Amino acid sequence: MKTFTAAALLIAAVSARSTPLRVRQNGVGKYTVLPTLLASHDVIAGDNVLAQNTITARNNGIETSTLYEIEFPESVSGLTCEAHFFAGRTTDSVVGTGELDFFTTGIEDLAEQASGNLRDQALGRISFVAIGEDFVIDPTVPFVFAGGFPCPTGTFVIESAAVGDFDVVTVGQDLAGAWTPASGKPNGLSFIAY
């Protein structure tokens, strides 16, 4: 009996540790999908450098965007997804217009994409709300990820870019596998599947 109990607990522990790498259950029927990888893209030079933060800037001849690789697992197939962006760390900084434009890209593997953003279609714009720590969807710009949309499956790379002549957004990103629901709301970009 002890061997069976120990084996069952070990299997449960291994399963609980290995399944959340792509998606974490955060309540009854809800899952959180986080980026697995980020890169800062130098718009002028074209270089991509792996990063831990959203770093989008347009200021005095400097322009950077952020590339996010997100893996939507089969477990969210058939569910509804909703995009969120939260800036709740003391090191997060939003100055200037405080907005981000999002785009699809043609990038298939961010780790292998040393340069270029392969920007494709506009997804929409989000704006920072100064009275809180959340970014919200700009109602004047259609946002594909607004509200609920059918959760995709597979790996996607999307890009966030600065808006206007002066916009600098630096936000720490919680990555898949590192964040737990006990930590509170995930920082940076996340998708809730329900």
Q: Is residue 8 included in any domain, yes or no?
A: no
Q: Are 150 and 81 in contact (CB under 8 A)?
A: yes
The pLDDT value recorded for residue 141 is 63
Q: What's the DSSP call for residue 179? A: -
Q: Is residue 70 included in any domain, yes or no?
A: yes
Q: Is residue 49 included in any domain, yes or no?
A: yes
Q: Is residue 101 included in any domain, yes or no?
A: yes
Query: Is pLDDT of 119 > 60?
Result: yes
The pLDDT value recorded for residue 137 is 64
Full domain range(s) for residue 170: 22-193
> How much of the chain exceeds pLDDT 90, in percent?
58
Confidence band for 133, pLDDT divided at 50, 70 and 90: low
In the predicted model, what is the mean pLDDT of the chain? 82
Q: Is residue 40 included in any domain, yes or no?
A: yes
- The b/e string for 48-71 (b: 16+ C-beta within 10 A; e otherwise) is beebebbbbbbeeeebbbbbbbbb
Closest among 177, 153, 188 to 22, alpha carbons compared: 177
Which is more confidently placed, 147 or 89? 89
Radius of gyration of the chain measured on its C-alpha atoms? 18
75-118 pLDDT tens trace: 999 999 988 888 888 899 999 998 999 999 999 999 999 999 99
Q: Is residue 4 included in any domain, yes or no?
A: no
Confidence band for 22, pLDDT divided at 50, 70 and 90: very low
Query: Is pLDDT of 127 > 90?
Result: no
Number of domains within the chain = 1
Q: Is residue 2 included in any domain, yes or no?
A: no
Q: Is residue 11 included in any domain, yes or no?
A: no
